Structures are given as C-alpha cells and as structure tokens.
Structure 1
Amino acid sequence: MRIINFSDARNSLRAVIDQVVEDADVTVISRRDAPDAVVMSFDHYSSLIETVYLLSSPANAAHLARSLEQARAGKAKHRELIEVSGAEENSHAKPAIHG
C-alpha cells in the first residue's frame, strides 16, 4: 500500500492510476481536512466485491473456511480439468425456440 498526499495525486493522477493497475495494489490519498480516499484497479475492486458477496452468506463462508482448512492440512484433492469437445459442448446448450 502506498500513501500519497492529495496535491501529489492530483499532479500525477495518470501515474497513480498506472501504478495501482500495474502493481495490483492500492494507493491511499491523504487529505489534510477531509477523510482519506483509496485508488485501486477495477480488477482489484471487483475481486474485493466478489469476496464480500461470497462471505455474506454464513453457510457459504463456513464452507469456504472448511475448504481452506482442508487445503492447508494437505487434504485437498488434485483433479484434472475435463476438456469438452465442441459437439459435447453444444449438446448442453439451450434448445432454440422457434415461433
């Protein structure tokens, strides 16, 4: 996390934005007479919002916590991804509606 004052942020906004995107980190903009603000990339923001959403359900949060415990304890199972051919992929598509 980087901290920069408001005047410096205003004078180098492009560089501040480029840095948060490149570093996948946040920059705090401090202001003397007002609350501080945070600049982050949209990807970082989206990730935080998704995490908040996933943890907003107590049941889902508990399930995720158990899964993390299992992974840390070495109880996670390694599985290969299944490659689906084009024909198989199309067989799961919704049927076209003709009318």
Structure 2
Amino acid sequence: MNVDWAEERSPTGNAALCRMFLGFRVSLQEYIKSTEFIDMKPQPIVFQELGNNLSGIFDRVVQRHEIFSVEKAPGQTVVMLDADEYAGLLETLYLLSNPENAARLQEGMAQHRTGQVKEIDVTAYLD
C-alpha cells in the first residue's frame, strides 16, 4: 500500500494518522479474510428498488445484518447497514486510533490465531 499517496491526499496532512489508518485497513482486511466473518461486501441496489421494497430491505439489514449500497445516480451512493454494526465499526476505529492499543489488540489476535489462549471466569468483572 502506498503511504505517500495517502499522505498527499490526507485532508489533515497528518502522516502518522495516515500510516495508522492504512495499517488498520490492511490488518482488518487480513482479519476478515482469516475468520468466519459476516460478508462485509455491500449488495448493490438502485434507488428505485429500495423505494419499491424499503420494508423488506430494512428487515434484511436489521435482522440478517446484510449491507446494501444504494445508488441514486452516478456518484450518489449511500450504504445501509445495521446501527449496531456501524457502532461496532466506529468503536473499532476508536480502539485502533491509539497505536499502543492497536499493537496490544494485534498481539492478542496473533496469540488467538496460534492458540495461546486461556479461559477465565469473567463473572467477577460484570456489573
């Protein structure tokens, strides 16, 4: 991935943030490929189809966590996804925005992949 290209186009010009985001993006793509994860590729539909079947598509988004890419006109596209999925993505971005925290999470995922896990009783930590 070309970090220089991203830095040039960064709205803030923040090179460190750009590098962190690109690292996160690559790591997330690898994570998605390596796990049994929901299909994150949006299903494309046109605006008219959404209008004709809004209730059914809404139910698929909420109940089955499907993601839709809705195009009204060229260059006018929105993505529909469940609010909990959106909140999870924002939380993930927040957690990975701190390089030290991101490194700990990466280390934890690597340990999990290699079977270095230990079960603990978390009942004492619950409210």
Residue in 2 that maps onto 1:7: 48
Q: Hey, what's the Cα distance between the residues in 1 that align with 2:51 and 2:123?
A: 49
Question: RMSD of the TM alignment (CA)?
Answer: 1.8
Aligned length: 85
Q: Hey, what's the Cα distance between the residues in 2 that align with 1:79 and 1:36?
A: 45
Provide structure 1 residue ranges, at least 5 long, that are not aligned to the other structure: 90-99
Report the structure, 1 or 2, having the larger helix content: 2
3-state SS of 2:70 partner: strand
Residue in 1 that maps onto 2:74: 33
Provide structure 2 residue ranges, at least 5 long, that are not aligned to the other structure: 1-41
**In the alignment, which of 106, 110, 118 is matched to residue 65 of structure 1?**
106
1:53 CA displacement:
0.6
The residue correspondences of 1:14-93 to structure 2 (distance < 5 A) are 14-83=55-124
Q: Which residue identity lines up with residue 65 of structure 2 in the other structure?
A: A
1:83 CA displacement:
4.5
Relative to the length of structure 2, the TM-score reads 0.60
3-state SS of 1:77 partner: coil
Identity among equivalent pairs (%): 31
1:44 CA displacement:
0.8
Q: Hey, what's the Cα distance between the residues in 2 that align with 1:34 and 1:12?
A: 22
